[in-house]
Structure 1
Amino acid sequence: MIMLWLPAAVSLLLSSSLHVAGDAGGGAASLSVRRYDAIFSFGDSLADTGNNPVVFDWYSIFDPVTRPPYGSTFFGRPTGRNCDGRLVLDFVAERLGLPLVPPFLAYNGSFRHGANFAVGAATALDSSFFHGAGDPPGASPFPLNTSLSVQLSWFDSLKPSLCSTTQECKDFFGRSLFFVGEFGINDYHSSFGRRSMQEIRSFVPDIIRTISMAIEKLIGDGATTVVVPGMIPSGCSPPVLVTFADAGAAEYDASTGCLREPNEVATLHNSLLLDAVEELREKHPDVAIVHTDLFRHVSEMVQNPDKFGKQK
């Protein structure tokens, strides 16, 4: 069952994408030659380096990332990463000669070389969108409010310790590399099985708008290089496959074993995200906005696992 190593696949392929990102447009080629003093990351479990256990508090008892074998192949212990070793953010930091990016909520040292605000299960939209006034007593508290806007507020709270004037901040963040997550994954995945596909498609533009506004905000703060990953093929994700375990044969792609409709949602997201990225590039020609196509890369790994040393 090749889907079990999907998170590792995403990390591997996103890392590869960044090193050959010259074809991604928006000044992407500069990633391989520029010198960065810091990395700031916003996102979900694909980027979380340790915020998860802090946010989830006692719920972390049930979270496997706090127990072996997570962290076993590199750190020798669980670190809160959704991986047995390093994430793409770790490899990028190492490639740039920077320290591993510390989790903002679980680190007491200096953030002069960057901070990671990503939290496992984070959504683009605020949690209130997913919790209606009519929720029954005892309804699930998830997703918790670790949305993109919340992560941006954490970033804002950190800024005074890094720079004291507008120009000083622009200079500092202009020498930093920013990652704006894989936002949208948890918005959709937490809605599958609870809302109709039509309803889920209807809030895709809201998610794209939220991501675009976040990028605009960071550019206003001084960011000159922003990496914006697209959606993975949701229909290939193990939790989504389990959610739709009763789906008929016609609902699967015969070449991959992935579900068609969730992948169509991801495709719509990626199309609108790329349009938004192009608009931002036109508006900010001096900013390198790098879009990474996770859907294409992960789909390739799913279809050709032998190329990556894996078996079906």
Structure 2
Amino acid sequence: MGGFTPRAAASLLLLLLLRSPSPSEPVAAAAAALRARRYDSIFGFGDSFTDTGNNPVVFAWYSVPNPVTRPPYGSTFFGHPTGRNCDGRLIIDFIAEGLGLPLVPPFLAHDGSFRRGANFAVGAATAIDAAFFHDGEPPGTDNKFPFNTSLGVQLQWFESLKPSLCATTQECKDFFGRSLFFLGELGFNDYSFSMNKGKNVQQLRSLVPHVIRTISMAIERLIKHGATSLLVSGMVPAGCDPPILTFFPSADPASYEPRTGCLKGMNELSTYHNSMLQESLDKIRSKHLDVEIGYADFFSPVMEMVKSPAKFGFEEDALTVCCGGPGRYHFSGVVVCGDPGSTTCKDPSARLFWDGAHLTEAANRYIADGWLRSISSPATATN
């Protein structure tokens, strides 16, 4: 069967340009070229930025209330809550649509076929194993966060699914050679959970190499399983995140960026994480010349939307969330989106942030558009 094969197009690299998406060019503009790649499936990993419905299952395991199972989640596109931390579609949804593939089903909540892909991402997931964050806690401490849904656990879920997808080495090579492996944002939860345990920004920097090693080892592990096309997301600008701004404010005005109101130190941490991740990806590429590894810039487009919200049709107060409770950024750790007493903005498409850390469908669309348009058109490939 003709179509894209990584070996036939070994010279092609998923070059993701460091530029913000243009709102005037829809995701569909990239669809025709991308479909020529003939990806048959997508396998996703990550946290709530990528989770398409696993988190209700996991939260139920730990008996933790989950607001994403209630309206107004999902109201913009699906018309009902789907387990996504959004009013509609996520970046991975737009990536799938742009590639001409069905939306990627959540592994824990889907009872159908996974031949077209599976999503192992879970809201609140960390890159580093959860035990790392619970080390040193007194016996009997009832601290459920983070859940045991780290990247390593997600890889175990993938490996448990693999035998149902392919039986032999060659069959797996062929199947996964036509698959896109999407590693969504990871790291934000690692750092935020560490901040909750009292670590400052400087101490968080010492955690970055551990996070990057974990992500890099996961990539190597996926390559051993047959992955030949991977798209790896960088980290968002954590200093612009409404929950970070709410829970970890600074008394020093100089700690904030004058133009945006974002916390300088946390954005510098994100930049450091992204720089180390790109260096690691370069090393992996040099070892696996027949594997395509694209870096998806999450930082720049979000910063562009924060700095120039009107350019994207957003309201000027870019850090104010659409759905939430009382508070400086319409965000409250007590009254969350969907709670009695919470309110939802009239037009989610005019906001960057949906319920706190998570973006609106409109913002996700712009980011996905940029990532899709940044993927070079493939060379003609035949078996």
Separation of aligned partners in 1, 2:26 and 2:175? 26
Give the superposition deviation at 1:111. Answer: 0.3
Separation of aligned partners in 2, 1:139 and 1:17? 46
Three-state SS of the structure 2 residue aligned to 1:39 is strand
Q: How does 1:1-312 map to 2 (within 5 A)?
A: 33-57=36-60, 62-135=65-138, 137-193=140-196, 194-311=198-315, 312=317
Residues 1:119 and 1:186: Cα distance change in structure 2 (over 3 Å): same
Three-state SS of the structure 1 residue aligned to 2:134 is coil
Give the superposition deviation at 1:301. Answer: 0.6
Contact 1:14 1:88 in 2 (8 A): no
Higher relative contact order (CA 8 A, sep 6+): 2
Give the superposition deviation at 1:33. Answer: 3.7
Q: Which has the higher helix share?
A: 1
Separation of aligned partners in 2, 1:283 and 1:237? 36
Three-state SS of the structure 2 residue aligned to 1:62 is coil
Q: What residue is the counterpart of 2:373 in the other structure?
A: none
Contact 2:28 2:98 in 1 (8 A): no
Separation of aligned partners in 1, 2:129 and 2:28? 33
Three-state SS of the structure 1 residue aligned to 2:284 is helix
Three-state SS of the structure 1 residue aligned to 2:50 is coil
Give the superposition deviation at 1:61. Answer: 6.0
Contact 1:192 1:240 in 2 (8 A): no
Measured against aligned partners, the alpha-carbon deviations of 1:213-268 in whole angstroms (never above 9, x if no partner) come to: 11111111111110001010000011110122343211101111000111111111
Contact 1:67 1:78 in 2 (8 A): yes
Query: Match of 1:239, as an amino acid?
Result: P
Give the superposition deviation at 1:196. Answer: 2.5
TM-score (norm 2): 0.72
Give the superposition deviation at 1:291. Answer: 0.3
Give the superposition deviation at 1:96. Answer: 1.6
Residues 1:36 and 1:206: Cα distance change in structure 2 (over 3 Å): same
Contact 1:60 1:66 in 2 (8 A): no
Separation of aligned partners in 2, 1:19 and 1:275? 31
Contact 1:17 1:292 in 2 (8 A): no
Separation of aligned partners in 2, 1:60 and 1:270? 34
The Cα RMSD (Å) is 2.3
Three-state SS of the structure 1 residue aligned to 2:145 is coil
Separation of aligned partners in 1, 2:36 and 2:209? 34
Residues 1:60 and 1:77: Cα distance change in structure 2 (over 3 Å): farther
Give the superposition deviation at 1:89. Answer: 1.2
Separation of aligned partners in 1, 2:186 and 2:162? 23
TM-score (norm 1): 0.88
Separation of aligned partners in 2, 1:296 and 1:97? 26
List runs of 5+ in structure 2 lacking aligned partners.
1-19, 318-383
Separation of aligned partners in 2, 1:247 and 1:89? 37
Query: Match of 1:79, as an amino acid?
Result: T
Three-state SS of the structure 2 residue aligned to 1:110 is coil
List runs of 5+ in structure 1 lacking aligned partners.
1-11, 22-29
Separation of aligned partners in 1, 2:159 and 2:269? 32
Give the superposition deviation at 1:280. Answer: 1.2
